[in-house]
Structure 1
Amino acid sequence: MSTLTLENVELYYNRVHALRNLSIEVREGEIVSLLGNNGAGKTSTLSLISGLEKAKSGTVRWGDLDLTKQRPWDIVGAGLLHIPEGRRVFSTMTVHENLLLGGYLVKDQKLIQERADYAYELMPRLAERRDQQGGTLSGGEQQMLALGRALVGGPKLLLLDEPSMGLAPLIVKQVMDIIREVNQQGTTILLVEQNARAALKIADRAYVLESGRVTMEGPASELAADPRVIEAYLGA
């Protein structure tokens, strides 16, 4: 059973202390959400896990694998896929070409096609846009494409950074429903999301970060009812 564990992590950007003694855990099969305002350390946490940043101290493990000693592409090969903020689709490539790129480490072409077919089944809008360039899609469609591209890679753990950013409420619900369905099919998810209400609806557990520290943690339903979370992140 593969559990993601960060223990006593310290991360600096030059003199900026981004993560302070950070310890979190994401167990296999869970959706865990990281909440917090801008600058709280949420994106830094994902970048650390995916190997884009290196901790000054502390440990980052995926099961028995020490992620601090792995290169970013080796972390992808281990099944940890990071969808960064802003979607990052390839704008001049078609939807289908974008999807196939998600399988660049997968040797089995039949498996790549099967996973692409699953993405089309899960998100019919992508099937309708199959031959359109990625840059011509709406924000919601681009987020679906980023999710589909990651699915073609066969993720064991998905790191999602602000998937609802800039999307209309109806589209946010659709994206969150897709994330929940992906989880129910067996993919563990660590979700960074400023839309705390949407995140807590689908998460099993959540952590609240402030200035690089965990200040609250617990079952998502309990945090959603906590007056401090309501005041800071959910509104009255």
Structure 2
Amino acid sequence: MNTVLDIKGLQVAYGKVEALRGLDLTVRENEIVALLGNNGAGKSTSVSAVSGLVRPRAGTVTAFGEDITRATPWSIVERGIVHVPEGRRIFSRLTVHENLQLGGYTVRDSTSIDKRIDQVYALFPRMAERRDQQGGTLSGGEQQMLAIGRAMVAGPRLIMLDEPSMGLAPLIVAQVMDAIVSINRAGTAVLLIEQNARAALKVAHRGCVMESGRVSVTGSAAELRADPQVVEAYLGA
């Protein structure tokens, strides 16, 4: 299985605060990797470093065999890596359809954009029903679906999702996780950042637990679900 993303020895600091302290992480083709950990563990910083939003002071990020450690955020999207940030960050005054169209800003073929938007509407029928509705009037779950859908219009080979279940009702969480599985089965690798470890490990192939800016435990999803320390810390006894 080919490697999609390979992070080695990544270090990121905000002033004197070390957010990442030698992070090592790999995502392979057709894989969902869950990145777990408490607040402050460095999960969001990890994906921000991959997407070029923060600059590491040491270490490397390699994607599809190419060093992207110093690449610009827009060129990283063009390479097929899309980041869905925590908090959704949709354009509240634009309609659902306009938000989705903006997801294709790096795509030069308008036919491809239209086809991908149709695929998003098939994946999230609720978005099709609300295509002319302003993004800011959607529920939290609908906004999350829109954020994921907008990312898919870019045609990613790797999608990084930062806390997609945050603030959502359990039924909506299940729908979002089902959509993530569908996206993965269609050929997109997924790096899933989650505090909801139980939901994440139900859909992931592998999991990594972050503590203090580095990965402390890694293994298959089944192995992590059976690990007493992971159960106690993240899944509940």
TM-score normalized by structure 1? Answer: 0.99
Q: What SS is found at the alignment partner of 1:69?
A: coil
Q: Determine the structure 2 residue equivalent to 1:10.
A: 11
What percentage of aligned pairs have identical amino acids? 61
Cα distance in 1, alignment partners of residues 214 and 107 from structure 2: 37
Q: Determine the structure 1 residue equivalent to 2:231.
A: 230
Q: CA deviation at 1:69?
A: 2.4
Q: CA deviation at 1:213?
A: 1.6
CA offsets 1:141-187 (integer angstroms, 9 cap, x no match): 00000011011100110010000000000000000000000000000
State the AA in 2 paired with 1:206. Answer: G
Cα distance in 2, alignment partners of residues 90 and 10 from structure 1: 32
Matches within 5 A, 1:1-236: 1-236=2-237
Q: CA deviation at 1:2?
A: 4.6
State the AA in 2 paired with 1:154. Answer: G
Cα distance in 1, alignment partners of residues 69 and 98 from structure 2: 32
Cα distance in 2, alignment partners of residues 74 and 109 from structure 1: 19
Q: Give the conservation status (yes or no) of the 8 Å contact 2:55–2:70.
A: no
Cα distance in 1, alignment partners of residues 7 and 119 from structure 2: 32
Cα distance in 2, alignment partners of residues 164 and 177 from structure 1: 12
Q: What SS is found at the alignment partner of 2:89?
A: coil
What's the RMSD between the two structures over aligned residues? Answer: 0.7
Cα distance in 1, alignment partners of residues 92 and 165 from structure 2: 19
State the AA in 1 paired with 2:196. Answer: N
Q: Say how many residue pairs are matched.
A: 236
State the AA in 1 paired with 2:205. Answer: D
Cα distance in 1, alignment partners of residues 199 and 91 from structure 2: 27
| Runs ≥4 residues deviating over 3 A | none
Q: Give the conservation status (yes or no) of the 8 Å contact 2:92–2:134.
A: yes
Q: CA deviation at 1:57?
A: 0.8
Cα distance in 1, alignment partners of residues 109 and 216 from structure 2: 44
Q: CA deviation at 1:117?
A: 0.3
Q: CA deviation at 1:63?
A: 2.1
Cα distance in 2, alignment partners of residues 69 and 195 from structure 1: 31
Q: CA deviation at 1:9?
A: 1.1
Q: Give the conservation status (yes or no) of the 8 Å contact 2:162–2:193.
A: yes
Q: CA deviation at 1:188?
A: 0.3
Cα distance in 2, alignment partners of residues 103 and 218 from structure 1: 35
Q: What SS is found at the alignment partner of 1:176?
A: helix
Q: CA deviation at 1:65?
A: 1.3
